């Protein structure tokens, strides 16, 4: 993958696909599935720059599993892989060890 370093308070995120589920014996086609709202941070910027020039470090770091809003960020394609660039304030939460997303 090309080396990309997000600027300031932005994150480069790889979506984590949910395990394919079959409901009532019917396989849901990819076109009807919702995009996952969980991802892994691939790269993170250095932090948010304040008006007086100070850099506030990010709470989210490379390797964290995060939850984000359905329409958050901007989709990009690098070396054939679809990734997402979003700001740290678009992150809804960080999944800790033992946590699993349970969407309904």
Question: Is the pLDDT assigned to residue 104 strictly greater than 50?
Answer: no
pTM of the shown model? 0.73
Per residue in 59-88, pLDDT tens? 999 999 999 988 889 999 988 889 999 999
DSSP 40-85: EEEEE-S-EEPTTS-EEPPS--TT-EEEE-TT-SEEEEETTEEEEE
Which residue ranges form the domains of the chain, and what is each CATH number? 10-18+29-94 (2.30.33.40)
Q: Residue 56's pLDDT is what?
A: 93
- Asked if residues 81 and 1 have their Cβ atoms less than 8 Å apart, the reply is yes
Distances (CA, A) of 54 to 8, 50, 61: 11, 5, 19
Confidence of residue 29 (pLDDT cuts 50, 70, 90): low
- Asked if residues 62 and 24 have their Cβ atoms less than 8 Å apart, the reply is no
């Amino acid at each position: 993958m090309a080396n990309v370093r997000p600027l300031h308070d932005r994150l480069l995120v790889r979506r984590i696909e949910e395990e394919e589920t079959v409901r009532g014996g019917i396989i849901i086609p990819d076109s009807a599935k919702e995009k996952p709202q969980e991802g892994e941070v691939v790269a993170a910027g250095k932090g948010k720059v304040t008006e007086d020039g100070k850099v506030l470090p990010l709470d989210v770091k490379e390797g964290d599993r995060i939850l984000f809003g359905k329409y958050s960020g901007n989709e990009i394609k690098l070396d054939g892989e679809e990734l997402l660039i979003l700001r740290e304030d678009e992150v809804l939460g960080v999944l800790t060890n033992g946590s699993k997303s349970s969407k309904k």
